Every structure is written in structure tokens, then in C-alpha cells.
């Protein structure tokens, strides 16, 4: 499975659990650690966990290995590291506070639209 396909699958899995403001940031020109960030928001910690669980489940079904996960216990900002793709699932307040889209403002950003 190609990186772009994994990214679309992760976005769709987030959308299935009503994630808000799903965007993909192309990080290839601004950092070497990963190719893409996927960022989305949720209203509650419970919804953050539901989104994260669904992304993990859908990617595991396609045998996409998860390298690292952090933040799940608190569920304010959960990071899922899939190597070439890093997924960030935020509670809305945390997303506004950390503002990754502004921090990495040089990275091209694409809003997710369901097909």
C-alpha cells in the first residue's frame, strides 16, 4: 500500500468517527522525519479515543505497522506514528493551542473531502 493510500485510509477512518477539520500536510520539503502529517479534531476525549481506535483498526486490517503511539491515556493529543505518515488527533482546544498548521506553515495543506 502506497503512502498516499495509507493517508486516505487514515482520513476516511477518522471521518467515519466524525472527526472535524481533517487535513493532510505535505511535510516532505520541511522535515526529514516523515512525509505527511494528518491532523484532525474531536470535541471530547472519548471521541478522540474512538477516532484513534478506528484509525488503528483500519490500518491494521491492511497490515500497516504502527511504529509508536503516545497520548492515548490523556486523549488531549494522540500521536500515531506510521513512519511516512504521522496522525495527530486533537481535542479541539489542544489543536488550537498547539496550532501545528501555523507552526509548520510552509507545508502544503490539503483539506480532506469525502469521496
- Domain edges within the chain: 3-111
CA-to-CA distance for 66 and 95, rounded, in angstroms? Answer: 22
What are the tens digits of pLDDT across the range 4-35?
A: 999 999 999 999 999 999 999 999 999 999 99
Q: Is 39 helix (H, G, I), strand (E, B) or coil?
A: strand
Q: Is 58 helix (H, G, I), strand (E, B) or coil?
A: helix
- Residue 99 C-alpha cell reads as 496550532
Average pLDDT, the chain: 96
Give, in order, the Cα–Cα distances in Å from 90 to each of 29, 74, 77, 108.
24, 11, 4, 20
Give mean pLDDT, residues 36-49: 98
Does domain 3-111 fall under CATH 3.30.460.10? My reply is yes
Flag whether pLDDT at 75 surpasses 70. Answer: yes
The pLDDT assigned to 1 comes to 75
The strand pairing partners of 45, in sequence order, are none
The pLDDT assigned to 22 comes to 98
Does the reported pTM lie above 0.85? Answer: yes
Q: Are strands 85-91 and 36-42 parallel, antiparallel or unpaired?
A: parallel
The pLDDT assigned to 33 comes to 92
The pLDDT assigned to 115 comes to 65
pLDDT > 70 fraction of the chain, expressed in percent and rounded = 99
Amino acid at each position: 500500500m502506497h503512502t498516499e493510500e495509507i493517508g486516505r485510509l487514515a482520513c476516511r477512518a477518522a471521518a467515519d468517527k466524525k472527526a472535524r477539520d481533517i487535513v493532510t500536510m505535505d511535510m516532505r520539503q520541511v522535515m526529514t522525519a516523515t512525509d505527511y502529517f494528518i491532523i484532525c479534531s474531536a470535541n471530547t476525549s472519548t471521541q478522540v479515543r474512538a477516532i484513534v481506535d478506528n484509525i488503528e483498526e483500519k490500518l491494521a486490517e491492511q497490515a500497516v505497522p504502527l511504529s509508536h503511539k503516545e497520548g492515548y491515556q490523556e486523549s488531549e493529543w494522540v500521536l500515531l506514528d506510521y513512519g511516512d505518515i504521522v496522525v495527530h488527533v486533537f481535542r479541539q482546544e489542544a489543536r488550537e493551542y498547539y496550532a501545528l498548521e501555523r507552526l509548520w506553515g510552509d507545508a502544503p495543506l490539503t483539506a480532506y473531502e469525502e469521496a
